[in-house]
Amino acid sequence: MATVYPINRGVNRSLEFKGIKAQYVIYLALGLVLLLLLFAVFHIVHFNLYVSMAIILPAGGALVLAVKRLSDRYGEHGLIKHSAARRLPASVQSRSRKIFLQLKPSTSEKA
């Protein structure tokens, strides 16, 4: 019996790491870098180590949980679509027909 090896299995698939999809991996990485910088600032100003760890560790856990929840809820492109849909108006109102009279007729012929 021959063994079948899938070739290029990941072509055209989005990035996924431990169940976190696409841009959420970048959000998580940026958040962790910010927490690392915050810890470095705490260390430079000689802040108490235990207090800084009590701030950084729960913040990191909350960051991971929030990013995982967003990734599971909205998927690869859902958060962008959700934020774009919120900016669309419910309706467009016009009080005069002047704007429609100024439109140029379409030059393309539809067959």
pLDDT digits (tens, 9 = 90+) for 71-103: 999 888 888 888 888 899 888 888 888 888 888
Structure tokens at 45: 């100003």
Q: Please identify which residue in the block is written with the tokens 């027909």.
A: 97
CA 105 to chain CA centroid, Å, is 40
Q: For residue 22, is it within any domain?
A: yes
The answer to whether 68 and 20 are in contact (CB under 8 A) is: yes
pLDDT greater than 60 at residue 9: no
Count Cβ atoms within 10 A of the Cβ of residue 2 and give its class: 0-12 exposed, 13-18 middle, 19 or more buried: exposed
Q: What is the distance between the alpha carbons of residues 86 and 78, in angstroms, rounded to a whole number?
A: 12
Length of the chain, please?
A: 111
Range of the domain at 66: 16-88
pLDDT greater than 70 at residue 5: no
Q: For residue 5, is it within any domain?
A: no
Task: Give the total number of structural domains in the chain.
Answer: 1
Q: For residue 70, is it within any domain?
A: yes
pTM (two decimals): 0.66
Q: For residue 78, is it within any domain?
A: yes
